[in-house]
Amino acid sequence: MPPSEANWKPYRDLLRKFGPLEQDDVFRVLGAIQDAYGCIPREILQDVSERLHRPLAELYGAVTAYPGFRLAEPEADR
């Protein structure tokens, strides 16, 4: 289910705060997304991958390595 327009807003807001994204912002952006959403929604990870020209698989590998990152909010896990 694609996220609604409202769900993109926190992401757009944090992107605005970052300004033009640089390669070395990638981990910081992932952190900011996790903090804003309580998880890193797939569609948003996809968008980060496109913006920074990074393979989605690589970012997925990174995100799933840390206890402090989640792909879905805990209650949505099951």
Partner 1 sequence: MSAVETKIVTRRVGVVPPFDLEAYRADSGCRALEKALSMTPAAVTEEVKRSGLVGRGGAGFPTGLKWELTAREEAESKYLICNADEGELGTHKDQLLLEGDPWRVLEGMTIAARAVGAGKGIIYFNEHFRSIAEQWEEMIRAAEQASLLGDDILGSGFGFRVKVCLGRGLYIAGEEMALIASIEGRRPTSRDKPPFPTQHGLFGLPTCVNNVETLANVPDIVERGADWFRSIGLEDDLGTRVITLSGDVKEERVREVAVGSSTLAEAIETFAGGTRSGRPVKAVQPGGGTSAFLAADALDTPIAQQAIARAGSSLGTAGIIVYEEGHSIVDAAVSCMEYYGRESCGRCAPCRIGTVRMLEILKQVQAGQARPGSLDQLRRIGYACAVSSTCGMGQAFPEPVLSALKLFPEEFESQLVAAPNATR
Q: Where in 5-24 is the site for partner 1 (CB under 8 A)?
A: 23-24
Cα separation, 12 vs 18, whole angstroms: 10
Contact 29, 62 (CB under 8 A): no
Q: Does 25 bind partner 1 (CB under 8 A)?
A: yes
Q: Pick the binder of partner 1 from 13, 43, 58, 73 (CB under 8 A).
A: 58
Is 2 or 67 the residue whose CB approaches partner 1 more closely? 67
DSSP string, 30-42: HHHHHHHHSS--H
Binding site for partner 1 (CB under 8 A): 23-28, 30-31, 34, 52, 54, 58-59, 61-62, 65-69
